[in-house]
Structures are given as C-alpha cells and as structure tokens.
Chain A
Amino acid sequence: MSELQPHIRIDNVTKSFGSYSAIRNVCLDIPRGSFTTLLGPSGCGKTTLMRLIAGFDEPDSGSILIDGAEMNGIPAFRRKTPLVFQEYALFPHMTVYENIAYGLKLQKVPRDEIRRKVGEMLEMFGLEGLGDRQPKQLSGGQQQRVAFARALVTGQDILLMDEPLSNLDAKMRVEVRNELRELQQRAGITAVFVTHDQDEALSLSDRIAVFDKGRICQAGTPWEVYFKPDNAFVADFVGTANFIPGEVAAVEGGELVVRCEGAHHRVDGGGRSFSQGDQVTLVVRPECISISMEAGPEGSAGKGWSGEIMSSSFLGRMVRYRVRCGSMTYDVDDASPSVRGVLQGSVRLQMDSSKIHVLLGSGEL
C-alpha cells in the first residue's frame, strides 16, 4: 500500500433520487489521516455523498474506494465506516453504556474487553458515572459525546460526521471544535466532516470540498478556498466578499493591471492566463479594505476612493460598514474599532492589492 494512495477515493460518482439528481460526476481524494470537510448549502449533495461512503445508498454510477478496495455493493454493516449522526441517533431503549458497547457486541468482542474499552471511552469523553443513564436523561452536549464515543470505540481509522455540532449552542460548538481536531490528530484517523458552517470548515479542516448543486466547486486547503476561490460561488459562500467588475488593461508577466471603477489595480494572476481586454471580477474580502476618515477637504489628496457610510454594525471585535462609492456598495471591516464609537459620514477606502483575487468573467453567481 503506497503512502500516496488516498484513504478514500470518490471516483466519478453520480446519484439521483427519482428525477432529482443529488450529486453528479463527483471526484474527490481524501488522504489518510486528513481532516476533510464537505461544505455547502443545504441540498447541495454533501450529505448524499457521506451516505454513499457509509453505504446507506449505492451510487448510480462511479465508484467509491477505501484503501484501494472498491466498496460498491458492500452493505453498510460491513464497511467499517463509523458515522456520527446529526441528531445523534442514540438508541432510546439502551443505556449510555449499552449504546457505546453495541458495535463491540456485534463484533463478538469478549465481555471483559468490552467493559474495558467502553470504560476508556466514558473516561475520554468525560462521561464517567453516566453509563447507566438513558440517553434522554443527558444534556445535548453529553448525548453528542456518547455519539462520538459509540463511533470511535471500535477503533476504526475512518470517522464520518454529519453536521455533528449543529445541535449545540454557539459557545459549546467552538469548544467541541477544538477538542475534535485534537482528538482526530492524536488518533491519526481519517475524518470526513459534513457542515454548512464555513467557520467550522475553515477552523477544523486540512482540506475543504465546497459543494453546490451536486457538484464540487472547489477542493483545497482552507487557505486556498478562502483567498483563491475558483469561482464566485465559493468566494461568496466561504466568508463575505466584495465583487468588483473590471477589465484587464495589461498583462505583465504573472501580474495583471485591472481597470475598475476608474482606478487601476496591480494584482497577481495566480498562474492563470489572462489576456488584455478580458472581463474580470475582483474578489476583495471586507478585511482587505482599510477604512479611514476623509483626510482633508480635498479628497484627491489621499490614495484610494472616497465613499459615504450607509450603515454599520458593531460586532465587538470589529465593526462592519456598508460604504457607498459611486454606483458600488462595499462591505468593509474595521478590525480595531475606536472606543469613541463608529465612524460616520465621508470616509476613504484603500485596498491591499496583494490580497485581491481575480476571477474571469462578470462575477454572476
């Protein structure tokens, strides 16, 4: 088995339910020991792909390989792909202990060993003394840990997770996120994580596959997906983006000069080929634009554009402004708000050209 072989390979998989096509021609390699997130809006096909990996459904065409072995036709209960369900799916007629032990019991593990392994899991997840409880007697957070313990106890090297954090409150979610990442790295398991929450995806993953309408729009590291989105959908779904239409004025080596809104920007072409006259869209993150009060009565003195603040929302660590410049409206973040309050009136915006990303085309979603 070569180190380069992906742990899970999705090879040109298509699946439809009746006339609704859930995923189309999806290809994805999931490296061993990686944390891979399937990210997308609801109905994009990410959960369908997860269910195909677990074997609850069979693909219409294409194949799924685990460790190079074809999984098509192998029933779910022989796949060894433990899954943490969104609603946990704890058996209501079994105690916490019985829930965790169930998988081991099916493998006919000796009773003493079951006791030892379940005990380890209870300890690891801070559930000591709760083994005799019924699932409904536990809090949401505790139930979720039982679900994780039940999936991990059999010691498989794959862990599938279907939005496992979505039923937790906001603060808890961030805590569990960190624990989860730590656990995955310590155990060295290959984790596949489904979510619609971009923060979760960015903070947890080694790799993110962004889904839309049954296709993968982009697969890459969180860094790539955030700063170098392949298309407008990815740019818009992951984080917030300003889309500025422009035209390529000149190509100079790997760099482009793009004219938009009457100004010229020198930006990195990202290794893709553009030619003069191409219609392009600049993708600029709100935090890549700096905002300051208009310096003097003569706007022309400073660099950048002048604009008018239309509204602002205070988020604690930063303030997000909506600024009107000519016909465009920009989302701009001020990462160090002044204690005196939000800015008002005329302001000056400046872009950090090094963080501008260029997309070919008019930027329609």
Chain B
Amino acid sequence: MTSSALRNAWLEIRKLKHEPALAFLIAAVTTITCFFVLWPIAKVVSFPRPEDYLQLFTNSRWFQAALNSLFMMAISTLSCTAVAFLFAYSIARLDIPFKGLFRFVTLLPIVSPPFIVALSYILLFGRQGIVSKQLLHANFDIYGWHGLWLVQTITFFPFAYAVIYGVLKSLPVHLEYAAHNLGATRWQVFRHVFLPLCRPGLAGGALIAAMNVLADFGNPMIIAGNFTLLPTEAYMQMSGWFDLSSASVLSTALLLPALALFFANRIWLGRRSYVTVTGKESSLKAYPVPSYVKWGLFACCLFVALFVLAVYGVLFYGAFTKTWGYDWSFTLQNLKYVAAKGTELYNSIRYALFSSFAAAVLGMILAYLVQRKRIGFNRLLDFLAILPGAVPGVFLGLGFAMAFNQAPLDLSGTSAIMILALTFWNLPTCYSASSAGLQQIGSSLEDASLNLGAGSFRTFRNVLLPLLKGPFLSGLSVAFLRSVTCLSVIIFIYSAHTSVGTVSILNLVQNGAWGGASAFTAVLISIAFAVHAATQLIARAYDRRKS
C-alpha cells in the first residue's frame, strides 16, 4: 500500500522533468517550507532528554500548569460557545434592533491585540478600577482563574461565532416548517430539528475557541496571577532561568493537545455536510419565536455588547487620563510614552508589512501547487502549509529561537528572524484564503488557457492571478493585523533592536503604567485598523471596477 503510493509519487515527480522551471519552483518552495516549519518543531521536541519529559508528572508546579491549561480550556470553551451561539442565533434568526452593533462587537476582539481585554479588565475592575473603586468602592482580587475565564470568554467567543453563524445562516428553514407542519411545538422543533442541524457548527466553533484559549499567552500573562498555565510557565522558565530544556518540555506538552484539536477540527470541517445549498428556500423567513424569548435574548446580547464596548472605551479613556484611579484629568502625557517607543512602533508596522506580504505570496504559490499540479506529494505540502496553524505561538517562537541561533542559519537578534517567524505563523491563514479562492475557480478556465497556447506560468499570470486578487488581499490584510498584534511568537525572539509594540505594552503593564499601556494599545489598534480599512477600500474599489 505505502510502497505503491511511493511509487506513484515517484512517477508523478519524474513527469516534471518536462517542465524544469516548475520542478525548480516546487523544489525551492518545498525546501523552504520544510526548513522553516518542520525544523523548528523538531528542534524543540528533540531538545530535552527523554527523562526531562517525565518531570511533567513529577514536578508538581508543571503538572498543575498542565491541569490548569486544560481546565481553563474546558470552561472557556463552554462559555465561548454559549455566548457565540447566543449571538449567532440572535443575528441569524431574530428580528431585533442593533444587529449592526452586535456584528461589530463580534469583529472587534478578532482584530485587536490579544491582551487588550485583560488590560481593560484591570482598568475596569482592578484595585484602581473605574467600576470597582469609583462606582462600587469595593476591592476584589481579580487575578486568577475566574478573571481569566471572563477575559478569555470575551476575547475568543468571536472566533466560535464566525463558525457557528456560518452554519446557522445556511440551515434550511423549510425543515423547521415541515416539523411544525407535522405537529411539533416550538421547543420540540428547536430540540429535534434545529439543534441537531447546528451540531456541526457548534462543534467546529467549540474547537476553534478551544485551540485559541489553549495557546493564548497574552491574557494569562497579564491577568492569571499565580494561576500558572503552560504557555506562561514556559515563558518564565525561559526568561527567568534561561532554561531551554524546561521551556521545551512545557511547550511540547502544549503542542500535543493543540495538534489534536487542530486535526479534529480539520476532520470535522471536512465532514460537515448536511447543510444543503439549493438556493431555493432563501426567501422563506424563520418561524417567529415568542416575544419574551426574543427580547430576553436581545437583552443578553446587549449586555455582552455593552461590556465589549466598555472594554474598548475604557482603554481610550485611559489613554488620555493622568493617573488611573487617582487623577482622572485629561492629559496628552501618555502619548509621550508612545513617541518614546517610536522604534518599536515602526518595527511593528515594518515587520507586519513584510511578513504578511511574504506569507500571502508563499501561501498563494503553495495553494496553486497543491491544488492544481500533480506533484506526487500534494498532501504532504498541504500538511506543511497548515501545520503552523496548529502550533501554539509560544512554541513556534521558541522553535525559531532554538533553530536559528547557530549554523546553518544564525539569525538571533535580527529583523530577519522576526519577519520569518511571523511569515510562517501567518502562512496557514493566507494559504487557506488562496486555497478557498482557487476552489471557486473551475479548472476548465486553466484548461482553456492551456488549450489556447499559454504555458503553466502564463496561465497562472493571465488567468489565476487576476482572479485570486480578492483572496490574496484578504489573506494579506488578516496576516497584517495578526502580525501587528502578535505577542506570543515574538516574545522569545525579539532583541533590544528588534522589539515591537506589543512587547512594550506588556512591559508597561507589568510596571503598572496603565496610562502608557492604554495609549500605546490605542495607537496600535488605530494603525492596524487604518491599514485594514485601506486594504478593504482597495479591494472594494477593485470589485467595483470589475462589475
């Protein structure tokens, strides 16, 4: 079985000798991807001695960190999925006001720096918090698992929402009418028809949320206090004692469940099938729900929406406040922090631009090769392209730090390593966007171009490239946002010269400089959104010209 597969692969490879340029491209892309994806992972996993891994069970602090990570993942996944379902159902099925606001709220956390909710949470409820100190005159201890739980729910429910909403929106309404017609009550229809049809979406959303919560570094770093998790513990080992072995063990412990979740998600998405798109029933409206249910759900959505808005509002308020908790007067002083850290800000933008562009180009080439060329190892290349998406950011950063600090490629402390790490971290995003785009372009278009006399490269340039502009730009724009707001990947590889905005914010937070941290975050978000909006405008202008 395997040997015949290998033989087939070899036959396909041998056919490539007719197209030497293509063969060279394939060889180059495969080598580069292997080198920057597999090598860092192998380096981390193989670094500790086997007995070091046993410490995971013997060292009680580490064991506790692993348990904490799993526990946090479990409860946050539940709450994220619940809130996501609430929003998805309300937006897709109910006739309620403020839907625009609710959609906006589900988008905000996706495009923000990862620790922003934790930071705002401190500003709202911390010892000097505006709610706790000014309104309630209370003092609660917000550091720990319950604080983190709330923060993770707000941060990651939008990821689950995107998946669940996609499924809910395409559910055929006429099935519910059929059930009503057969005599089912509203509650029975919900339980027997609607929920079972939603299940693929709920599972997919839960998996996405779980992956993100498990791998998250920024929020726990700021809010978890003594509640240690695997990513933060790995960082402590590295920054505190420079203990590479321990950091590797902890990161590997994080990698395994992350991989499992990731591939469960891939398989699950592949099977999600009973959503039938016939385009016939689109005009049917959902069967109305009783008004007390409708307004009850609306109230819940509004509450969450207001909370998210408060998170961002307080941040911008904090940016212009003299001393949080003591002196609420207006100041521009905090912006000076930002000005003083101009290099970091400049680095953030620069690295994000380079890495997102590189990721978009590489992602498109990979998607083209995997989908359109029979090269004998398409599945392997596909796997390589999506693998970084399964690797927690902390792990990837550690991998780059360990793999490229010596020959054959010593990049430690350079801008190159920052750009490369971000590029490969964003590769799956761009690759998936291009892949999805390619899937919508029928292969007969390329056949037609070949048939009219254009070779592989001309066909790619004349036919595919113009049609892939949309996916290319959207991948680029998401990769840019992710890069600007990334903390976990670069925490192990930045140096004094190559530090970026998110690192500065973390330092400001750890020093209790709330004003400066808020101001810096506000500026970073503004820049990221401006660039995002610009690419959206370009894409839209392009669309308009086309039609």
A-side residues, CB < 8 A to B, are 54-56, 58, 73, 75-83, 85-87, 89-93, 102-103, 106-107, 134, 150, 154
| B468 nearest CB across to chain A (Å) | 10
* B448 with A85: CB separation less than 8 A: yes
Q: In whole angstroms, how far apart are the Cα atoms of A166 and B352 in the complex? A: 50
Which residues of B from 9 to 44 have beta carbons under 8 Å from A? 15, 18-19
Could you write out 27 A-B pairs with CB less than 8 Å apart? A54-B447, A56-B450, A58-B15, A73-B18, A75-B455, A76-B447, A77-B450, A77-B452, A77-B455, A79-B451, A80-B453, A83-B447, A83-B451, A85-B444, A85-B447, A91-B445, A92-B467, A93-B463, A93-B467, A102-B449, A102-B462, A103-B452, A106-B453, A106-B454, A106-B458, A134-B546, A150-B448
Query: Chain B residues near A76 (CB, 8 Å)?
Result: 447, 450-451
Q: In whole angstroms, how far apart are the Cα atoms of A78 and B450 in the complex? A: 8
Max count, chain A CB within 10 A of own CB: residue among B447, B459, B546:
B447
Tell me, yes or no, whether B100 is within 8 Å of chain A by CB: no
* A54 with B451: CB separation less than 8 A: yes
Q: In whole angstroms, how far apart are the Cα atoms of A102 and B454 in the complex? A: 9
* A77 with B453: CB separation less than 8 A: yes
Q: Which of A75, A87, A93, A134 contacts B466 (CB 8 A)?
A: A93
The size class of the interface chain B forms with chain A is 20 to 34
Q: In whole angstroms, how far apart are the Cα atoms of A150 and B450 in the complex? A: 13
Query: Chain B residues near A85 (CB, 8 Å)?
Result: 444, 447-448
Query: Chain A residues near B15 (CB, 8 Å)?
Result: 58
* A75 with B451: CB separation less than 8 A: no
Q: In whole angstroms, how far apart are the Cα atoms of A77 and B454 in the complex? A: 5
Tell me, yes or no, whether B442 is within 8 Å of chain A by CB: yes
* A89 with B18: CB separation less than 8 A: no
Q: In whole angstroms, how far apart are the Cα atoms of A54 and B467 in the complex? A: 24
Besides the known contacts A55-B450, A89-B444, 16 further A-B residue pairs in the complex with CB atoms under 8 A apart: A54-B451, A56-B447, A56-B450, A58-B15, A76-B447, A76-B451, A77-B450, A78-B453, A85-B448, A91-B445, A91-B448, A93-B466, A102-B449, A106-B453, A107-B453, A154-B453
Q: Mark B219-247, 1 if CB is under 8 A from A, else 0.
A: 00000000000000000000000000000
Which residues of B from 523 to 547 have beta carbons under 8 Å from A? 546-547
Query: Chain B residues near A79 (CB, 8 Å)?
Result: 451
Query: Chain B residues near A150 (CB, 8 Å)?
Result: 448, 452
Q: In whole angstroms, how far apart are the Cα atoms of A86 and B448 in the complex? A: 11
Main secondary structure of the interface of A (DSSP, over half): loop
Which residues of B from 68 to 105 have beta carbons under 8 Å from A? none
Given contacts A75-B18, A91-B463, A92-B467, contact A102 B445 (CB under 8 A): no
Given contacts A73-B18, A75-B18, A106-B458, contact A89 B452 (CB under 8 A): no
Q: In whole angstroms, how far apart are the Cα atoms of A106 and B448 in the complex? A: 13
Query: Chain B residues near A58 (CB, 8 Å)?
Result: 15
| A152 nearest CB across to chain B (Å) | 11
Given contacts A76-B447, A91-B463, contact A102 B18 (CB under 8 A): no
Q: In whole angstroms, how far apart are the Cα atoms of A304 and B84 in the complex? A: 78
* A77 with B18: CB separation less than 8 A: no
Query: Chain A residues near B459 (CB, 8 Å)?
Result: 77
| B509 nearest CB across to chain A (Å) | 48
Beta-carbon nearest neighbor of B458 in chain A: A106
Query: Chain B residues near A81 (CB, 8 Å)?
Result: 451
10 A-B pairs closest in CB distance? A103-B452, A89-B448, A89-B444, A76-B450, A106-B453, A93-B466, A77-B450, A83-B451, A85-B444, A77-B453
Q: In whole angstroms, how far apart are the Cα atoms of A55 and B450 in the complex? A: 9
Beta-carbon nearest neighbor of A58 in chain B: B15
| A76 nearest CB across to chain B (Å) | 4
Q: In whole angstroms, how far apart are the Cα atoms of A102 and B463 in the complex? A: 11
Query: Chain A residues near B462 (CB, 8 Å)?
Result: 102
| A82 nearest CB across to chain B (Å) | 6
* B444 with A87: CB separation less than 8 A: yes
Query: Chain B residues near A103 (CB, 8 Å)?
Result: 452-453
Beta-carbon nearest neighbor of B447 in chain A: A56
Query: Chain B residues near A91 (CB, 8 Å)?
Result: 445, 448-449, 463
Query: Chain A residues near B19 (CB, 8 Å)?
Result: 75
Query: Chain A residues near B448 (CB, 8 Å)?
Result: 83, 85, 89-91, 150
Query: Chain A residues near B466 (CB, 8 Å)?
Result: 93
Q: In whole angstroms, how far apart are the Cα atoms of A263 and B453 in the complex? A: 62
Q: In whole angstroms, how far apart are the Cα atoms of A102 and B446 in the complex? A: 13
Query: Chain A residues near B451 (CB, 8 Å)?
Result: 54, 56, 76-77, 79, 81-83
Q: In whole angstroms, how far apart are the Cα atoms of A79 and B453 in the complex? A: 8
Q: In whole angstroms, how far apart are the Cα atoms of A170 and B506 in the complex? A: 70
| B419 nearest CB across to chain A (Å) | 32
| A318 nearest CB across to chain B (Å) | 36
Query: Chain B residues near A107 (CB, 8 Å)?
Result: 453
Max count, chain B CB within 10 A of own CB: residue among A79, A83, A150:
A83
Q: Which of B447, B454, B455, B458 contacts A89 (CB 8 A)?
A: B447
Q: In whole angstroms, how far apart are the Cα atoms of A83 and B444 in the complex? A: 11
* B442 with A87: CB separation less than 8 A: yes
Query: Chain B residues near A80 (CB, 8 Å)?
Result: 453
* A106 with B452: CB separation less than 8 A: yes
Query: Chain B residues near A75 (CB, 8 Å)?
Result: 18-19, 450, 455
Query: Chain B residues near A82 (CB, 8 Å)?
Result: 451-452
Beta-carbon nearest neighbor of A56 in chain B: B447
| B8 nearest CB across to chain A (Å) | 8
Beta-carbon nearest neighbor of B459 in chain A: A77
Query: Chain A residues near B444 (CB, 8 Å)?
Result: 85-87, 89
| B342 nearest CB across to chain A (Å) | 42
Which residues of B from 411 to 468 have beta carbons under 8 Å from A? 442, 444-445, 447-455, 458-459, 462-463, 466-467
Query: Chain A residues near B445 (CB, 8 Å)?
Result: 89, 91
Q: In whole angstroms, how far apart are the Cα atoms of A90 and B466 in the complex? A: 14
Q: In whole angstroms, how far apart are the Cα atoms of A89 and B448 in the complex? A: 6
Q: In whole angstroms, how far apart are the Cα atoms of A178 and B450 in the complex? A: 29
Q: Mark B369-406, 1 if CB is under 8 A from A, else 0.
A: 00000000000000000000000000000000000000
Max count, chain B CB within 10 A of own CB: residue among A55, A58, A75, A106:
A106
Q: In whole angstroms, how far apart are the Cα atoms of A190 and B322 in the complex? A: 85
Query: Chain B residues near A102 (CB, 8 Å)?
Result: 449, 452, 454, 462
Q: In whole angstroms, how far apart are the Cα atoms of A91 and B449 in the complex? A: 9
Query: Chain A residues near B453 (CB, 8 Å)?
Result: 77-78, 80, 103, 106-107, 154
Q: In whole angstroms, how far apart are the Cα atoms of A76 and B447 in the complex? A: 8
| B465 nearest CB across to chain A (Å) | 10
Q: In whole angstroms, how far apart are the Cα atoms of A180 and B447 in the complex? A: 23
Q: In whole angstroms, how far apart are the Cα atoms of A183 and B64 in the complex? A: 81
Query: Chain A residues near B467 (CB, 8 Å)?
Result: 92-93
Q: In whole angstroms, how far apart are the Cα atoms of A150 and B452 in the complex? A: 9
Q: In whole angstroms, how far apart are the Cα atoms of A134 and B447 in the complex? A: 20
* A154 with B452: CB separation less than 8 A: yes
Beta-carbon nearest neighbor of A81 in chain B: B451
Query: Chain B residues near A56 (CB, 8 Å)?
Result: 447, 450-451
| B542 nearest CB across to chain A (Å) | 11
Beta-carbon nearest neighbor of B444 in chain A: A89
| A80 nearest CB across to chain B (Å) | 8
Beta-carbon nearest neighbor of B446 in chain A: A89
Q: In whole angstroms, how far apart are the Cα atoms of A79 and B447 in the complex? A: 13
| B349 nearest CB across to chain A (Å) | 32
Query: Chain A residues near B450 (CB, 8 Å)?
Result: 55-56, 75-77
Beta-carbon nearest neighbor of A136 in chain B: B547
Beta-carbon nearest neighbor of B455 in chain A: A77
Q: In whole angstroms, how far apart are the Cα atoms of A85 and B445 in the complex? A: 9
| B458 nearest CB across to chain A (Å) | 7
| B333 nearest CB across to chain A (Å) | 53
| B463 nearest CB across to chain A (Å) | 6
Query: Chain A residues near B546 (CB, 8 Å)?
Result: 93, 134
| B171 nearest CB across to chain A (Å) | 29
Q: In whole angstroms, how far apart are the Cα atoms of A92 and B437 in the complex? A: 14
Query: Chain A residues near B442 (CB, 8 Å)?
Result: 87, 89
